[in-house]
Chains A and B, each alone.
Chain A
């Protein structure tokens, strides 16, 4: 926490982008956040089994819209991505992951409050982007680490000199994966929710229900949208 303390007299609007990132990194990485007093936008930490409130869905919309804002095509909020995220977390996530997701929402809000004195939904677009960029780096590094571990495991299997007696299975045992970083969950849900929405398929991408033909090789010009899958 020393970095944070050293920077505590910074006025948020005066710091550089790099400094802001450093500061938010320190806040989000700080242990002081866990179990802290909840004071912000209706993100209940205790009971993670209750349905999402309208405020929470609005909050998710802002997260999704920060990741995928309006550009030449409508943003995630216009595609009602927050509601879809809430539905998937409620219906599809395991209790473990749901808890991590909910706590993540809480952590992010607290970090926004600590850094900027406002909740995430009240923060400026630039402040939101700064917060999410920091989280994105965290989840990215963790993802890379995991991928490297997976490759290492397969390499170990390949280089094995003595074949163990196995009547069970030739493959490494499939075990339950450790939970993902909460922002990876958010980012994945935002991407999925947006790009499988009607707006995401037909405006942000090209959608042809029945292409009718297959051209195996055509020129591609920068700026052309991707073809969306069927379903």
Chain B
């Protein structure tokens, strides 16, 4: 019963000695420059990457963030607290539920990182159909709370729309993005294993976080049963297994959602912001709500961004030669709809009629779980912030299902904790001693399924409802359809079958219910394409109608694939930034 010694003493580090110039309403003595080479709207995963790439290529960048600043390490106030240090042990209260009527619908509402979630009261939206929108309005955005699973797309994904005759063809293929996946993986730090799978290309990985013995057991059986067509691999995750400059390797605390004092998972704060700051060319501007992209119809270029200060309500125009919109899918669409209305009533990028349309997410919360027997003499030390992954196998390599596309599974095996006791029979001394020991091994997986693009799924402006700053809000009208419904049956039945056939006992299927948005993978509202008549962006993420405006967050996606999307946003952003700087140098912008 000894605690294993850490392999090495972890070192908490600050990102960079260099000062990050920040100005905001509380720091007015710093007179902001209003002219920059580039403006990046949003400081989440995509915006952080845009700021890093553009500053490293020599541009002076203004990084706009609508919410407050959260400083790396210093502001992760709950990062090392034990469960007993929270008044409600980390749970939720009715007072919190009243303040967060959307957030309360899922796990996101909790006492531990409440400060990282946007206020539903300040920023309401209209749901034509139920749509759960979980937002992070602060520096770093959702990069602080994300699930970190990081997978490359393959050509099965980029070619899918064209082959199926669904929506429009992607204007790029895997080969266009592969070097940029390499580029972002090396800097972000992705732990993963090389598997040689055509549908899930390998990358520039750090050593994988290993499967535990329960997972190894069924992984071996599954590979044999399905001759490798279905297999369990270590989850590919943006957690370091080897240190990178200024960042320690993972300490296996599994508390990533609190902010990591070791900088061991990728976030804007741990990875891209320090890199951008190091150039000395970045200015970070918190409390800056971008309310309009300023467009000059004579030059057919954007000239800047209008910013509403979230504290003072003062409006300031900032000018730049190139603008990157990384405000998150629904906010980028919103911002475009409010821009260039003198030319297009529907907003900048609306000439195709597709702006705001084709909203997608991943449907999930369905799968199966069961118990592993005969492993009572095995356990593990440490808390791995990762699990296993079962890459997509449906509608690939000759498999044909009545629906299009497919799904992958995220899961894990582990020994049950005390919470099993609620559903077990028992009270008293023996029960307590049993609950103090690890329970049975259990294993399960939940599927993440591709959602098809559908013009009818959309966001628009609701002029009848205003947010705290008097701005009209988003009206979201989105639902899954028959394809997702049919797929969902396989998502549940396949997991049960795989568990059953690998010797897992007491297999239980589940469908915990899904509404669009719950995946927190919203995307598609300003899609890339080959034709300005059917798409908002070209193959370099440029708005067809304003060549110096780039959109590189989730809104650029023409389909959703079934893998977690953030790594692809990173790669697309880095690729677009490289192109933008090239165009500036070629004097095309």
List chain B residues, Cβ under 8 A from A210: 6, 10, 80, 251, 253
**Chain A CB within 10 Å — which of B80, B84, B112, B209 has the most?**
B84
Any B CB within 8 A of the CB of A119: no
List chain A residues, Cβ under 8 A from B439: 226
A67's nearest neighbour on chain B, judged by CB, is: B427
Any A CB within 8 A of the CB of B378: yes
CB distance from A161 to the nearest CB of B (A): 11
Say which residue of A171, A204, A213, A220 sits within 8 Å of B438 (CB atoms). Answer: A220
Known contacts: A143-B423, A172-B513. The answer to whether A208 contacts B3 by CB under 8 A is yes
Any A CB within 8 A of the CB of B422: yes
List chain B residues, Cβ under 8 A from A230: 82-83, 253-255, 383
List chain B residues, Cβ under 8 A from A174: 513, 515
Any B CB within 8 A of the CB of A13: no
| A residues 83-114 in Cβ contact with B at 8 Å | 84, 87-88, 91-94
**Chain A CB within 10 Å — which of B82, B213, B251, B438 has the most?**
B82
Known contacts: A220-B376, A231-B81. The answer to whether A215 contacts B488 by CB under 8 A is no
Any A CB within 8 A of the CB of B450: no
Any B CB within 8 A of the CB of A137: yes
| A residues 67-92 in Cβ contact with B at 8 Å | 67-69, 71-73, 75, 84, 87-88, 91-92
A173's nearest neighbour on chain B, judged by CB, is: B513
Tell me whether A91 and B489 are in contact (CB under 8 A).
no
Tell me whether B7 and A224 are in contact (CB under 8 A).
no
Tell me whether A163 and B426 are in contact (CB under 8 A).
no
Count of CB-CB pairs between chains A and B under 8 Å: 256
CB distance from B355 to the nearest CB of A (A): 22
Tell me whether B415 and A226 are in contact (CB under 8 A).
yes
CB distance from B494 to the nearest CB of A (A): 11
How far is B251's CA from A209's CA once the two chains are assembled, in angstroms? 9
Say which residue of A93, A168, A212, A220 sits within 8 Å of B251 (CB atoms). Answer: A212
CB distance from A162 to the nearest CB of B (A): 12
How far is B258's CA from A87's CA once the two chains are assembled, in angstroms? 24
| A residues 104-149 in Cβ contact with B at 8 Å | 129, 132-133, 136-137, 140, 143, 147
CB distance from A36 to the nearest CB of B (A): 25
Any B CB within 8 A of the CB of A25: no
CB distance from B582 to the nearest CB of A (A): 43
| A residues 205-219 in Cβ contact with B at 8 Å | 205-219
How far is B81's CA from A157's CA once the two chains are assembled, in angstroms? 42
Interface size counted on chain A using CB atoms at 8 A: 80
Any A CB within 8 A of the CB of B377: yes
List chain B residues, Cβ under 8 A from A188: 422
Tell me whether A73 and B429 are in contact (CB under 8 A).
no
Tell me whether B363 and A150 are in contact (CB under 8 A).
no
Any A CB within 8 A of the CB of B94: yes
CB distance from A126 to the nearest CB of B (A): 10
Say which residue of B94, B209, B211, B251 sits within 8 Å of A91 (CB atoms). Answer: B94
Known contacts: A166-B485, A217-B216. The answer to whether A226 contacts B380 by CB under 8 A is no
Say which residue of A206, A217, A229 sits within 8 Å of B380 (CB atoms). Answer: A217
A225's nearest neighbour on chain B, judged by CB, is: B436
**Contact indicator per residue, chain A 173-195, by CB within 8 Å of chain B (1) or not (0):** 11000000000100110011101
Any B CB within 8 A of the CB of A2: no
List chain B residues, Cβ under 8 A from A169: 479-480, 513-515
Any A CB within 8 A of the CB of B484: yes
Interface size counted on chain B using CB atoms at 8 A: 93
List the one stretch of B136-144, B182-190, B318-326, B503-511 in contact with chain A.
B503-511
Any A CB within 8 A of the CB of B30: no
Tell me whether A158 and B381 are in contact (CB under 8 A).
no
Tell me whether B437 and A132 are in contact (CB under 8 A).
no
List chain B residues, Cβ under 8 A from A19: none
CB distance from B500 to the nearest CB of A (A): 14
List chain B residues, Cβ under 8 A from A228: 83, 417
B437's nearest neighbour on chain A, judged by CB, is: A226
Say which residue of A72, A92, A157, A196 sits within 8 Å of B92 (CB atoms). Answer: A92
Tell me whether A158 and B489 are in contact (CB under 8 A).
yes
Tell me whether A226 and B436 are in contact (CB under 8 A).
yes
B433's nearest neighbour on chain A, judged by CB, is: A71
Say which residue of A137, A151, A207, A219 sits within 8 Å of B425 (CB atoms). Answer: A137
B3's nearest neighbour on chain A, judged by CB, is: A208
Any A CB within 8 A of the CB of B280: no
List chain B residues, Cβ under 8 A from A205: 418, 436
Say which residue of A91, A154, A193, A212 sits within 8 Å of B10 (CB atoms). Answer: A212
B490's nearest neighbour on chain A, judged by CB, is: A158
List chain A residues, Cβ under 8 A from B209: 214
Tell me whether B438 and A216 are in contact (CB under 8 A).
no
List chain B residues, Cβ under 8 A from A168: 129, 479
Any A CB within 8 A of the CB of B88: yes
Tell me whether A214 and B381 are in contact (CB under 8 A).
yes
Any B CB within 8 A of the CB of A227: yes
A195's nearest neighbour on chain B, judged by CB, is: B418
List chain B residues, Cβ under 8 A from A41: none
How far is B4's CA from A218's CA once the two chains are assembled, in angstroms? 11
Any B CB within 8 A of the CB of A155: yes
| B residues 399-434 in Cβ contact with A at 8 Å | 415, 417-419, 421-429, 431-433
Any B CB within 8 A of the CB of A201: yes
How far is B509's CA from A157's CA once the two chains are assembled, in angstroms? 11
Tell me whether A227 and B427 are in contact (CB under 8 A).
no
Any A CB within 8 A of the CB of B90: yes
Say which residue of B7, B378, B431, B487 sits within 8 Å of A220 (CB atoms). Answer: B378
CB distance from B410 to the nearest CB of A (A): 17
List chain B residues, Cβ under 8 A from A55: none
A129's nearest neighbour on chain B, judged by CB, is: B428
A133's nearest neighbour on chain B, judged by CB, is: B427
List chain B residues, Cβ under 8 A from A136: 425-427
List chain B residues, Cβ under 8 A from A206: 1, 3
Any A CB within 8 A of the CB of B165: no
How far is B380's CA from A224's CA once the two chains are assembled, in angstroms? 12
List chain B residues, Cβ under 8 A from A158: 489, 492-493, 509
Please give me the 10 A-B residue pairs with the lowest Cβ-Cβ distance, nearest first: A212-B6, A170-B485, A217-B213, A214-B382, A220-B379, A211-B382, A174-B513, A196-B83, A215-B381, A216-B212
Q: List 9 A-B contacts (CB under 8 A).
A: A69-B432, A92-B88, A129-B428, A168-B129, A170-B480, A184-B422, A188-B422, A191-B421, A220-B438
User: Footprint of B on A, CB under 8 Å?
Assistant: 66-69, 71-73, 75, 84, 87-88, 91-94, 129, 132-133, 136-137, 140, 143, 147, 150-151, 153-155, 157-158, 163, 166-174, 184, 187-188, 191-193, 195-198, 200-201, 204-231
